[in-house]
Amino acid sequence: MLLGQVEAGRLHIPGLHPETVGATRRLISAAIWLFALSAAYPFLPGANSLAFKGISVFFGLMLTLGSTGIMNHAMSGLVLIYSRALHKGDWIRIAGDEGRVSEIGMLATKIQTRENYIVTVPNAVVVSGKIINLSAQNPGQGST
């Protein structure tokens, strides 16, 4: 409810911007779920057995190794969202493509080209590459 007020612009909290509220809401929700799951773990049937602990470690290791690429894109998405380097509506050139930012998601940024194509660029590419924000140069091309 509080975050919704900030997102709508009716409430101002220093350090929290309307464009970062969605990501902040998801982070808070994920933290609550992780805390709840870790608090409930000891109460699962068989949680004290060596087999259960071994299987849990095995699945945790598989999840960790399998999600490194996704985590790279997700962390890059958080950097983009919280640095506010790009905004929806900015005209940018990145990775050989030029267009208007239509969406900045957790895993990818979407830009719409002059030909009305939607180009999806992984956030790891956006963060590690060179971004030319043409909106700052030409106010007529920027966000309105």
3-state secondary structure the chain: CHHHHHHHCCCCECCECHHHHHHHHHHHHHHHHHHHHHHHHHHCCCCCCHHHHHHHHHHHHHHHHHCHHHHHHHHHHHHHHHHCCCCCCCEEEECCEEEEEEEECCCEEEEECCCCCEEEEEHHHHHHCCEEEHHHHCHHHCCC
Task: Answer whether residue 143 shows pLDDT above 50.
Answer: no
pTM of the model: 0.69
Q: For the segment 27-76, what is each residue's pLDDT rounded down to a tens digit?
A: 899 999 999 988 998 888 888 888 888 988 999 899 888 888 888 988 99
**Among residues of the chain, what percentage have pLDDT more than 90?**
32
User: Average of pLDDT values for 88-115?
Assistant: 92
* pLDDT for res 38: 87
* pLDDT for res 25: 86
Domains of the chain: 2-66 (no CATH), 91-141 (2.30.30.60)
